[in-house]
Structure 1
Amino acid sequence: MKKVSLIAFVALSTVIWAQNTEIKKTPEAKNSGDKALLVKSDAAELEAKKKAAAEEKAKLPKPYDPKADAQADINKLIAKAKKEGKNIMIQAGGNWCIWCLRFNQYVQSTPELKNVVDKNYLYYHLNYSPENKNEKIFAEYGNPGDKFGYPVFIVLDKNGKMIHVQQSDVLEQGKGYSLEKVKEFFNQWAPKKS
């Protein structure tokens, strides 16, 4: 009886050992090392993207002024808008925001958009940054950055009345902005000519 038990034990141990050895050869086990490589690869790719974004950001104009007296600036724009019959386009964000800088650059370097903006709007870059959050002004407009992120656009009529808030992600296309969507947005909120 002991011989049979010993033979059964040895046989069972051999089967278990063989199964464990086979498990180590399965794709799942083999891929655990591949997964570690993928994690390292993803981290390297993320670092490369961060570096590319930082380089891009360094080259773009910085239109936001944390030291500006935004309320005084907007009051002057309202007085000017009344005289010129234009609306006011407030692009809220900061120099820290790559999408804010991209949008500014896109509008400034796309003649078709720049013409629509220059004809219909007085444009203002309302700063939101650790140096100056312009909390009172943002609260006056319902804190749209809290809801939509940045950039966010606040459209005022010539009298300074808020007539629209626009999130920016709906204007995006790929790593930039859609000409058709941005142009439609600017045209839609331009002052109505009588």
Structure 2
Amino acid sequence: MKLFKTSITVFFLLIVSNVFAQNEVYNPEADAMKDIQTAIKEASKTNKHVFVKVGGNWCSWCKLYAKFSHNDAEISKIMEDEYETVLVNWSKENKNKKAMEYLGYPNRFGYPVFVILDGSGKVLHIQNSAYLESGKGYDKNKVLMFLKGWTVKALDPANYN
């Protein structure tokens, strides 16, 4: 009976963690440029940067990053406090060519790839997510260093005088 209860608990936890990661779904039918422009407007109003995640539902590393970032309170807080987030789908159904051009063809680095935009829409940085990996997952310290290094505050020269 104890083994049965343990098995049920483990099964439930696996379901919950997978559902949590499924909250982040790339939509092949979404208008990526419209979503980016909306995020830029919001970032401009809220003094944040835009964090663009380019990937697809087919991408295991995209799903892994979603689960990793949503399940970590510190990373989730930085994302909420410092960035407006946009998911840009790249798949055989929709390669979002206009968005890829606008973002500087970040897909050259593989998937997922992260692009940081300022409140005016200027591309500040394209991050190859492979540099944030460690083993079969993502390295929390590397991800935090990356996220903290591209905030509005981090790029403000007044903080260094």
Q: TM tier, shorter chain?
A: 0.7 to 0.9
Q: Pick from 22, 27, 50: which aligns with 1:88?
A: 50
Aligned to 1:14: none
Superposed CA deviations along residues 13-41 of structure 1, whole A, max 9, x for unmatched, are: xxxxxxxxxxxxxxxxxxxxxxxxxxxxx
Superposed CA deviations along residues 70-128 of structure 1, whole A, max 9, x for unmatched, are: 11111111111111000000010001000011111111110010001111000111100
Alpha-carbon distance in 2 for matches of 1:185, 1:63: 23
Alpha-carbon distance in 2 for matches of 1:75, 1:141: 12
Task: Report the CA distance between 1:143 and its aligned residue.
Answer: 1.2
Q: Select the structure that is richer in helix.
A: 1
Task: Report the CA distance between 1:141 and its aligned residue.
Answer: 1.9
Alpha-carbon distance in 2 for matches of 1:98, 1:79: 31
Q: How does 1:93-108 map to 2 (within 5 A)?
A: 93-108=55-70
Structure 1: gaps (5+ residues):
1-55
Contact 2:33 2:98 in 1 (8 A): no
Aligned to 2:123: 162
Aligned to 2:72: 110
Alpha-carbon distance in 2 for matches of 1:101, 1:109: 12
- Residue identity (%): 39
* Cα root mean square deviation, aligned: 1.7
Which structure is richer in relative contact order (CA contacts within 8 A, separation 6 or more)? 2
Alpha-carbon distance in 1 for matches of 2:74, 2:103: 29
Task: Report the CA distance between 1:142 and its aligned residue.
Answer: 2.1
Task: Report the CA distance between 1:176 and its aligned residue.
Answer: 0.6
Alpha-carbon distance in 1 for matches of 2:58, 2:33: 21
Aligned to 1:119: 81
Residue type at the aligned position of 2:46: E
Q: Pick from 128, 133, 143: which aligns with 1:172?
A: 133
Q: Runs of at least 4 residues of structure 1 off by over 6 A?
A: none
Alpha-carbon distance in 1 for matches of 2:130, 2:51: 17
Alpha-carbon distance in 2 for matches of 1:120, 1:104: 17
Alpha-carbon distance in 1 for matches of 2:133, 2:91: 23
Aligned to 1:17: none
